[in-house]
Chains A and B, each alone.
Chain A
Amino acid sequence: MRVTFGVLNVLAALVLLVGLFVVQPRFWALDAPLSVIALVELISAVGLLAKLPWALRALTVSAWVTFVLGLLVVSLIIITMGFLRGIHGDFGTAALAVSGLIVALLVPYTVVLPGLQLLWLKRQPAEPRP
């Protein structure tokens, strides 16, 4: 599982970094949290793949940061959908489908993956203290 989570964290960080540096223009409100998530995921991936002693602690931090920020982002999108529905009324299934698709694309990376990592971490024996 260590290798699997290491690889998945590298992939998730790459997806975020591509989004961060390829999509223009820059916007600090998105850049800052995305950079934090990508950074902690990369650090934990290095730890997991290189079997370093602090790997599980790094994964714990990475999973919690991703999970909390992910829930926050998904919450903001859903609240925005609710707000716009209140303002514009029934604005059609297409807009709802597009917003739903965005949420559906985010959830696997920002909620499901860190959630699974947190569950797996619970079953791991504590790391020996240096």
Chain B
Amino acid sequence: MSQQHVVPLQIYAVIFATLLLLTLVTVDVATYNFGMMNIYIALAVATTKATLVILYFMHVRYAPALVAVFAAAGFVWLLLLLTFTLSDFITRGWIAGFMG
């Protein structure tokens, strides 16, 4: 009678275990110095975790496509905010160097 897909317990258990494992991974990776790569690895792991939570715990995988579009729109706009902000700050020195 339920309107929505009931996610099997095994899937929840696997997602839960994966999230805990990825937490350990991100802590462990941070103990090594990969220079600039550290932040990218940390963000990649965090985004993987967030995606798992959104798809399974938040049921987006089983929801109508429009819900997925809404969810994606939020993060795409956030990415725009960060990209344009950084495209300003990262390039500020370039002009000074060029003029200099």
Genuine A/B complex: no
Taking Cβ atoms with an 8 Å cutoff, the residues of B that contact A are: none
Taking Cβ atoms with an 8 Å cutoff, the residues of A that contact B are: none
